[in-house]
Amino acid sequence: MNATKQVSDLKNYCEQQNIKFGQLWIDVEMKNQYWHSDVNANKQFFTELANAAKHYFGSQMGGVYTNKNGWTEIFGGEWEGGADMPLWWAYWDNLGPAWDNFKPFAGWKTPAIKQYKGDTKYCNMDIDLDSY
**Would you state the pLDDT for residue 19?**
95
Phi, psi of 71 (to 5 degrees): -60, -45
Judge if pTM exceeds 0.95: no
Identify the helix (H) or strand (E) that includes residue 47: helix 39-57
Does the pLDDT value for residue 34 go beyond 90? Answer: no
Does the pLDDT value for residue 25 go beyond 80? Answer: yes
Please answer whether residues 65 and 27 qualify as being in contact, where contact means their C-beta atoms are separated by less than 8 angstroms. yes
Q: Where are the domains of the chain?
A: 3-131
With cut-offs at 50, 70 and 90, classify the pLDDT of residue 98: confident
Q: Of the ranges 31-35, 79-83, 92-96, which one carries the lowest mean pLDDT score?
A: 31-35
β-pair partners for 114: 89, 131
Please answer whether residues 128 and 119 qualify as being in contact, where contact means their C-beta atoms are separated by less than 8 angstroms. yes
Kindly report, residue by residue over 60-90, the tens digit of the pLDDT: 999 999 999 999 999 998 899 999 999 999 9
CATH of 3-131 among 1.10.4160.10, 3.40.50.300, 1.10.3720.10, 3.20.20.80:
3.20.20.80
